[in-house]
A and B are shown apart, each in its own frame.
Chain A
Amino acid sequence: MVASTNDIVKVKRPDLVLPGETFESVTNIVSKPMEMKLPSWWLIVFLVSISGVLLLKSMIAYLIWEGIGVWGLNNPVGWGYAIVNFVFWVGIGHAGTLISAILFLFRQKWRTGINRFAEAMTIFAVICALIFPGIHIGRQWVAYWLFPIPNSMGMWPNFKSPLLWDVFAVGTYFTVSLLFWFVGLIPDLATMRDRAKGKIRQMVYGIFSLGWRGSNRHWQNYEKAYLFLAALATPLVLSVHSIVSFDFAVSQLPGWHTTIFPPYFVAGAIFSGFAMVVTLMVLARQLFNLKALVTIGHLERMNKIILLTGMLVGYAYGMEFFMAWYSGYQYETFAFVNRATGPYAWAYWIMVSCNVISPQLFWFKKCRTSIPIMFVVSIFVNIGMWFERFVITVTSLHRDFLPSSWGYYSPTWVDVCTFIGSFGLFFTLFLLFLRFLPVISIAEIKNVMPQADPHHGEEH
């Protein structure tokens, strides 16, 4: 049976921008944070964050001066906080490009309210992530040997090593994400340039808006470039975390050596990325009064994705156990039983309760649309996803093949301070973004307003 078009019942989608807003008011709302007097909360939070950056810097300096031994690593556990943090931040950096590129290609118009924000978060998270592989090596001053730089010895990196793939994957992801973000910013930067009152503002926004005048030709080129970049970025969303997962999957350690890792990691990354976007968005829309542009509808959609990916992740947890049992391989079985019942069982159960149980609240519309609940759940998911990486990295390493070399890992104050410091860096960059760049794409959001649709909902 083929339904005729006449049979389709029109469902009115919720407004992406609250009714009553005009093009002008939208521009005003978005520009306000950049043009208003510096709010005192911003200054306070910024000072706190910048002290975090200082903390990070001093921890790194101390690390390089003294050696990796200042961390809690030991012989069975060669990777600890640094790798956990790396995977955690890369995971967070997943939501941005997913929202921008994949949702763009799927014509999900609701993305316009949050894409700029999510992309910025991606960039900053990847910056935080990139610090860790650089400093976690024993001789940080030769980190550049990981890059294929032609040299007189004819010495190339080992292309078989997943760590090298990582360098390329994360490097590419960062570059493309940055470009994508910047291209999307150009029309808005031009708006800012035009609205700017001071000479310096005019100049800086002017330089970065690359001479945008909003001509038809500009718009045509812009739209094409944006589409291409979206197409380019889309496979990267899937590849980067797949490749990060190869760091583990390609090794032969029980608990790491698993074929489920690439999709499992990608799902987890989207999960954590969305959770981080919700956390930050809830705060930003409150503080800058963006409620008209970032509606509860936006947040609800994101919560649905959190619910979906949370269950994907939960499925992966279950499947890992099934495979461990089904393989009949005692080392694999032990690795998973040890996760749930061994010395790190506490970490495992924190992970399960945060990642699998807490998102189940989003089955209820009341919870999905409640700001306090979604904020708390998103924080839980962030914690849970950090622990997921901790569980994968540490519990697999601490008890491997020979019981004689089993050990226990606990972080030192340097580990913890470095992690805290990375949040300082993230928030510093984020606060700068909030203050100096339009947090919502002015140009794009106008596209989804009723005023932009000359047919008033009549689709032809």
Chain B
Amino acid sequence: MKKFWRSIEDLNDSKEIERFKLREFQEGASELNEGVSRRDFLKFLGSTAALAGLSGCNIRKPYYKIKPYARKVEHSVSGIPTFYATSFQLNSAVYGVLAETHEGRPTKIEGNPTYPGTEGSSGLFQQSSIIDLYDPDRLKFPLHLTASASLDDFKDWMLRYKKDLRKASGKGLGVLIENSLSPSFYKLVDSIRLTLPEVSFYRYDPINKDNQEQGLFNLTGNYLSPKYDLSRANVVVSFSDDFLSFGHHQIQYSRDFADRRDPDNESDLNRLYVFEERYTVTGAKADHHFPVKKSDLIKVLSQLAILVSRKVGFNLSSFGNISYQKLDLDFVDDKVLAAVSDDLLANRGKSLVTAGDSLDEEVHQLTFLINSILGNNFKTVSYQETPFANYDFNTKSSYDSLSRLVDDLNSNILDSVVILGGNPVFTASQELGLSRALTKAKNRIHLTYYNNETSKLCNWVIPKLHYLEYWNDLKSVDGVVSIAQPVIKRTVQGLSEHELLNLVFRTYRSDYSLIKNSWQYLSSSSFDKAIHNGYVFKRNTTVYPSIKSKIKLTKQPHEQNKLEITLYPDYKLFDGRFSNNGWLQELSDPIHKLTWDNAAYIAPKTAKKLSLKTGDFVRLQVSHDYLDIPVFISPGHAFDSISIPLGYGKVDGQRIEDGVGFNAYRLLDESGKVADVTLIKQLEKHKFASTQDHGSMEGRPHVRYATVSQYHENPSFAQGQEEVPHTEALWDKHKYDTGYQWGMVIDLNRCISCNACTASCQAENNIPIVGKDQVMDGREMHWNRTDRYYEGDIDNPKILEQPVSCLHCENAPCEQVCPVAATVHDDEGLNVMVYNRCVGTRYCADNCPVKVRRFNFFDYHQRHPQSVSKKRFHLFDYIKEPDKSLAKQFNPDVTVRMRGVMEKCTYCIQRIKSATHKASNEQRIVKDSDLLTACQQACPTNGIAFGNILDKESKVYKWRNKKRNYSILEQLLLGARTTYLANVFNPNKVLIAENSIYSSNKHYDKQSKKESHGSKH
């Protein structure tokens, strides 16, 4: 063997050299002392490096090629986010979204600008869905008999189980699904039915459109989903239809609706009448809002149908037993009905009548009928073929399907059941006995996001993937087909619905191969293009149904004083699927401003009658169960009616949802309805965490409004409603007339208070949640809030909304009082917060007239309910830190604030800076299209204009120069950069009651007097 030598000594094997060979550093060379050895030092060095690139811990790109969107393809340019188009399904809606990723971490969701319908906007569900991906409470491994197992274990088990199944050709297996809109999913269903014909499928959705579908099917013989064209509707009459909040096209509806609220084009201003049992987001935008008990809605609708048909000479009796009936309602009399029907008739073909999903089949049939009498059908309302409606489990209503599953389980027809998603044990009626029936099956498999009530009864629990983790394809109701790509490698050992369904009849195939297989006919380049754009194509699925059978109205006994209960999907938690989402829990309810709770909402008059106050517990007793729930008085609610949002009240839930709110699903009876209920007042009291305790504007002109006619008389009615003192400045005011001068205008007429802006701001700016007790103390951290005021009669007030965040006053009161100059003005007109400098005197917040400054009373990231104990290196590590997983959502462009400092809206300064840098590199100035703030980007109604107020081309410049532009608290001479466009309502002249806010508007009158007085001189 060849021998290598380093020196003569080495060659000679001298003892001396041995020492050198063993020691890298010679004696006398400095070495680190004991305690931290060299090896340890390197370890620390390494761990520091690893921590420094925290994102690096889990940069896991999906294995298959995915396409970045919009920005240049060389992704992974450090510090520059990459956007990927994808889409996801929520109940019966499909949302096309963009996922913003920083070095492989998805951090924020935006609407996909090219996706038809949403055009770049998004709602709060899209915005908040990102935090679900990182939820540390997610199920991470499969569970077999409550012990953790691996996915391979499950696959092995399925292999064995499949052998038996094949022998029985599928007999004994039931699959319970949630409504799916994936073409590939149905392809798999078809394949299963081919190979295993005896497998039965069931469907259960707690929130569904079954009544509408079934009603229209019975009437026309088609499975239909109506789609409204609000851009063409001059008059909209909604019967408890919250179309601005929920449904297939909520975002498009919101935009189209808002586009018709521009008072500068009179012919273009629409009018909205809402008849509903409680105040909804849609109701809050109504020009006329009528609280009507849910059971009375059909009476109003049928009388309206009679009036309309009478006037056009249409014989209604040939379509069913619709007869005239004298109405005895609190807010709806003949005058109202006549006015509404006249208005509808004057706008034949340009009006719209809609009804809420949860209303009875007959209501939807009547709506169809009235729309067709008015000639609205196929004009302002088109009908889409409901996708995949021909599958037996889709044609049956959710409740029928589920009760059939229970029957089959009870009669031992099924010995195995696969539940794909959902939590039916929680969301279905207890009276149905699903949990008891489930235990009769031998094999119970649940694909689920959390280990929930249903999973606890199953022997195989498989983690369900987040929509950003798997390949999917979706077909929306109006025919937009999209392929959804993952943007991060799976963070849990889980399966997609497709993969699990596939395992039922053959060996494992990946989600990618399953989806790719469905889209074989697309060429590789068009497949790439489809995932790049976020959708494949839009297919016209419009159908032209006609009435084929008569409407049978069941006579409902008129019981005026009978208490009635309405359950509805929560604005934040929907059916409960988002209940472990801290962002959504802490968002305030758009109407009641409640966080971390639901309640039984009742009208003030009902509360008086039952001698109840907000916070009083009541026991709602139904035949099989009861619910103890506190009441909350809600002005504008229908009398003798209680409404409760669903989705709350998890017992033994995950860390965020646990013990929050009250489970109204318990009131459902076997048929999925709430039957007779008795109310018993309890002695206990409940404390609500509301973000706004005071609902009256106290006669102050913060939200300014006028009717259209008032507006035309006096277009600048909104200006000068506050008495501005005459002052002389001691020094010259700073001009702010060069460079960029940022400003924002919020159009109150467009705002629907949907909270998307607040959710978007939370995701963009690393805003912590604080928990219920802190919200009760008034310490919520949202930089952006929407104020809600009631004006007028307490039984049926008008709701006025106003989003408020930092106004960026040129003459900012906060800046003058800060002793350490931690909040200062920059030359672009921004009021900037220097977190590093802030010592936390809170003087700025005291002096802020709009109270938008938020103080970190605690380290809220550390106090998060999902925080973990920190590894202890020194004394002060004896504390908690945010969960590593949640920390991955943080936007790296925004500082995470520590405790003891003040924070507030920055106008998304990180976005301003990145846009101005980009523009200056390209030697141009920033245009409107270069820069959107987070709130503006999310806003589904385009109600926020932001940009350079010196740029005459910018939208913000144009809006600022509108006559109804005003700044709040102008008497303080703030020089606010955020201003508002005043509300202009379009009430029906016939229905303007005395003393309503439309007829007596003291601020309008005062201002008008001043104007006319001024013009004389």
Q: Which residues of A contact B (CB under 8 A)?
A: 66-69, 72-79, 136-140, 142-143, 145-146, 155-158, 160-164, 167, 247, 250-253, 328-331, 334, 397, 399-408
Residue contact B820 to A402, C-beta cutoff 8 Å: no
The 3 closest A-B pairs by CB, nearest first: A138-B840, A138-B900, A69-B857
Q: B935-948 vs A: 1/0 string, CB under 8 Å?
A: 00000000000000
Residues of B within 8 A of A251 (CB): 813, 817, 843, 846-847
Residue contact A404 to B900, C-beta cutoff 8 Å: no
Residue contact B702 to A67, C-beta cutoff 8 Å: no
Give, as a whole number of angstroms, the nearest-CB distance from B169 to chain A: 64
Residues of B within 8 A of A406 (CB): 693-694
Residue contact A79 to B842, C-beta cutoff 8 Å: yes
Residue contact A158 to B819, C-beta cutoff 8 Å: yes
Given contacts A158-B820, A161-B818, are A405 and B850 in contact (CB under 8 A)? Answer: yes
A sample of 18 cross-chain residue pairs with beta-carbon separation below 8 angstroms, ordered by A number, consists of A67-B857, A67-B900, A68-B857, A68-B858, A69-B777, A69-B779, A74-B777, A138-B902, A140-B900, A155-B821, A158-B816, A161-B817, A161-B819, A251-B843, A252-B972, A399-B694, A401-B700, A404-B694
Interchain CB contact (< 8 A) of A403 among B700, B813, B817? B700
Residue contact B899 to A400, C-beta cutoff 8 Å: no
Q: B801-840 vs A: 1/0 string, CB under 8 Å?
A: 0101000000001001111110000000000000001111
Residues of B within 8 A of A137 (CB): 839-841, 900
CB closest residue in chain B, given A407: B778
Given contacts A138-B855, A157-B820, A252-B813, are A401 and B838 in contact (CB under 8 A)? Answer: no
Q: Which residues of B contact A (CB under 8 A)?
A: 692-700, 702, 723, 774, 777-780, 785, 787-789, 802, 804, 813, 816-821, 837-843, 845-847, 849-851, 854-859, 898-902, 968-969, 971-972
Residues of B within 8 A of A404 (CB): 692, 694, 702, 785, 787-789, 802, 804
CB closest residue in chain A, given B802: A404
Residue contact A155 to B837, C-beta cutoff 8 Å: yes
Residue contact B846 to A167, C-beta cutoff 8 Å: no
Residues of B within 8 A of A66 (CB): 858
Residue contact B842 to A403, C-beta cutoff 8 Å: no
Interchain CB contact (< 8 A) of A162 among B817, B856, B899, B900? B817
Residues of A within 8 A of B697 (CB): 403
Residues of A within 8 A of B841 (CB): 136-138, 163
Residue contact A75 to B855, C-beta cutoff 8 Å: yes
Residue contact B777 to A402, C-beta cutoff 8 Å: no
Measured CA separation A315–B718 after assembly (Å): 40
Measured CA separation A405–B843 after assembly (Å): 16
Measured CA separation A79–B813 after assembly (Å): 16
Measured CA separation A160–B824 after assembly (Å): 12
Measured CA separation A402–B780 after assembly (Å): 17
Residue contact B855 to A139, C-beta cutoff 8 Å: no
Interchain CB contact (< 8 A) of A401 among B821, B845, B849? B849
Residues of A within 8 A of B698 (CB): 334, 403
Measured CA separation A75–B702 after assembly (Å): 19
Give, as a whole number of angstroms, the nearest-CB distance from A331 to chain B: 8
Residue contact A164 to B778, C-beta cutoff 8 Å: no
Residue contact B804 to A250, C-beta cutoff 8 Å: no
Interchain CB contact (< 8 A) of A138 among B700, B817, B856? B856
Interchain CB contact (< 8 A) of B816 among A138, A160, A397? A160
* Residue of B802, B857, B968 with most chain A CB atoms under a 10 A cut-off: B857
Residues of A within 8 A of B839 (CB): 137-139, 142-143, 145-146
CB closest residue in chain B, given A167: B819
Residues of A within 8 A of B789 (CB): 403-404
- 11 other contacts beyond A74-B778, A403-B694, with CB at 8 A cut-off? A68-B857, A72-B777, A75-B780, A138-B838, A138-B841, A140-B900, A145-B837, A329-B971, A397-B846, A402-B804, A402-B968
Residues of A within 8 A of B843 (CB): 78-79, 161, 163, 247, 251
Residue contact A146 to B819, C-beta cutoff 8 Å: yes
CB closest residue in chain B, given A69: B857
Given contacts A138-B899, A404-B789, are A75 and B779 in contact (CB under 8 A)? Answer: yes
Measured CA separation A406–B696 after assembly (Å): 11
Residue contact B821 to A157, C-beta cutoff 8 Å: yes
Measured CA separation A72–B778 after assembly (Å): 10
CB closest residue in chain B, given A338: B698
* Residue of B699, B821, B859, B899 with most chain A CB atoms under a 10 A cut-off: B821
Give, as a whole number of angstroms, the nearest-CB distance from A285 to chain B: 41
Give, as a whole number of angstroms, the nearest-CB distance from B260 to chain A: 28
Given contacts A138-B838, A157-B819, A404-B787, are A67 and B778 in contact (CB under 8 A)? Answer: no
CB closest residue in chain A, given B777: A74
CB closest residue in chain B, given A250: B817
Residue contact B819 to A164, C-beta cutoff 8 Å: yes
Residue contact A68 to B851, C-beta cutoff 8 Å: no
* Residue of A163, A164, A252, A397 with most chain B CB atoms under a 10 A cut-off: A252
* Residue of A69, A142, A399 with most chain B CB atoms under a 10 A cut-off: A69
* Residue of A137, A138, A250, A397 with most chain B CB atoms under a 10 A cut-off: A138
Interchain CB contact (< 8 A) of B847 among A164, A252, A331, A408? A252
Measured CA separation A334–B697 after assembly (Å): 13
Measured CA separation A404–B789 after assembly (Å): 8
Measured CA separation A160–B840 after assembly (Å): 17
Give, as a whole number of angstroms, the nearest-CB distance from A315 to chain B: 26
Residues of B within 8 A of A145 (CB): 820, 837, 839
Residues of B within 8 A of A400 (CB): 849, 851
Give, as a whole number of angstroms, the nearest-CB distance from A440 to chain B: 40
Residue contact A401 to B969, C-beta cutoff 8 Å: yes
Give, as a whole number of angstroms, the nearest-CB distance from B793 to chain A: 18
CB closest residue in chain A, given B860: A69
Give, as a whole number of angstroms, the nearest-CB distance from A412 to chain B: 9
Measured CA separation A138–B972 after assembly (Å): 28
Measured CA separation A252–B813 after assembly (Å): 7
Interchain CB contact (< 8 A) of B855 among A78, A162, A399? A78
Given contacts A73-B857, A74-B777, A402-B851, are A79 and B846 in contact (CB under 8 A)? Answer: yes
Residue contact A158 to B842, C-beta cutoff 8 Å: no
Give, as a whole number of angstroms, the nearest-CB distance from A102 to chain B: 30
* Residue of B818, B841, B855 with most chain A CB atoms under a 10 A cut-off: B841
Measured CA separation A403–B968 after assembly (Å): 13
Residues of A within 8 A of B817 (CB): 160-163, 250-251
Residues of B within 8 A of A75 (CB): 778-780, 845, 851, 854-855
Give, as a whole number of angstroms, the nearest-CB distance from B966 to chain A: 15
CB closest residue in chain B, given A399: B694
Measured CA separation A399–B692 after assembly (Å): 12
Measured CA separation A82–B983 after assembly (Å): 42
Residue contact A68 to B778, C-beta cutoff 8 Å: no
Measured CA separation A401–B859 after assembly (Å): 29
Residues of A within 8 A of B802 (CB): 404
Residue contact A253 to B820, C-beta cutoff 8 Å: no
CB closest residue in chain B, given A165: B819
Residues of B within 8 A of A161 (CB): 816-819, 843
Residue contact B840 to A402, C-beta cutoff 8 Å: no
Measured CA separation A163–B838 after assembly (Å): 14
Interchain CB contact (< 8 A) of A78 among B846, B898, B968? B846
Given contacts A161-B817, A163-B817, A251-B817, are A67 and B899 in contact (CB under 8 A)? Answer: yes
Measured CA separation A164–B702 after assembly (Å): 33
Measured CA separation A155–B824 after assembly (Å): 13
Give, as a whole number of angstroms, the nearest-CB distance from B783 to chain A: 12
Give, as a whole number of angstroms, the nearest-CB distance from A400 to chain B: 7
Residues of A within 8 A of B851 (CB): 75-76, 400-402, 405
Residue contact A253 to B778, C-beta cutoff 8 Å: no
Residue contact B702 to A402, C-beta cutoff 8 Å: yes
Residues of A within 8 A of B774 (CB): 69
CB closest residue in chain B, given A248: B846
Residue contact B850 to A401, C-beta cutoff 8 Å: yes
Residues of A within 8 A of B778 (CB): 74-77, 407
Residues of A within 8 A of B788 (CB): 404
Residues of A within 8 A of B780 (CB): 75
Residue contact B699 to A330, C-beta cutoff 8 Å: yes
Residues of B within 8 A of A328 (CB): 723
